[in-house]
Amino acid sequence: MVTLESLYRDHDNLRRILYLLEQLFIDIYRGTSRDYAMLQRILVYIQEYPERVHHPAEDAMFAIILNNLTCPKRLHRDISSLLKDHSEIENITREAIEAVESVVVSTHTDISEFGKNISRVLDRQRRHILFEEMHIYPYITKYLETGDWEKVSMLLPDIDDPVFGERVKQGYESIIESLQG
């Protein structure tokens, strides 16, 4: 079941993944690594799990809060902004995946353009998580009741986190190894 704790856990896991992405990105930029396949796997994870599970859970919760007549205007404005942000983050991540693909297939790639895409992913994801935790999550328990959490959980597909779940999805083993190493 979706809970505030599970949302925080998703954020903590994503922070770990973002740190790994940043490390690999810097190594590639410095020329000490060319592991573009790992970079792609990380970006695909960043796109897939939040897009299929985490953001839909938040979107459903936010919809319940927005329908609450006692919801302050500032919170309403912040939630509306975050809903838009989810879509923009997904687009930025797709662009970064495409940039990595173009680096892999091209022999004359402008690495600075590739770098801008990865930097945007890192920056937007970190700002997004921080904003949610500072300005939205503290109010969730005030506006959601147990029945609301159950409704949100029923709306979501039964998908286990492919990296941090009970079984690591095939193809993501190297991410876990890097996080543990």
- pTM (2 decimals)? 0.94
Task: Give the amino acid at 65.
Answer: I
Provide CB contacts within 8 A for 146, sequence distance 6+.
none
How many residues in the chain? Answer: 181
Provide CB contacts within 8 A for 60, sequence distance 6+.
151, 152, 155, 156
- Give yes or no for a contact between 80 and 102, defined as CB atoms under 8 angstroms apart: no
- Give yes or no for a contact between 28 and 36, defined as CB atoms under 8 angstroms apart: yes
| Tens place of pLDDT per residue across the chain (181 aa) | 999 999 999 999 999 999 999 999 999 989 999 999 999 999 999 999 999 999 999 999 999 999 998 999 999 999 999 999 999 999 999 999 999 998 888 866 678 888 999 999 999 999 999 999 999 999 998 999 999 999 999 999 889 999 999 999 999 999 999 999 8
What the block records as the tokens of 29 is 């930029």
* DSSP annotation string for 127-138: HHHHHIIIIIHH
Residues 30-81 pLDDT 10s: 999 999 999 999 999 999 999 999 999 999 999 999 999 899 999 999 999 9
What the block records as the tokens of 20 is 């790994």
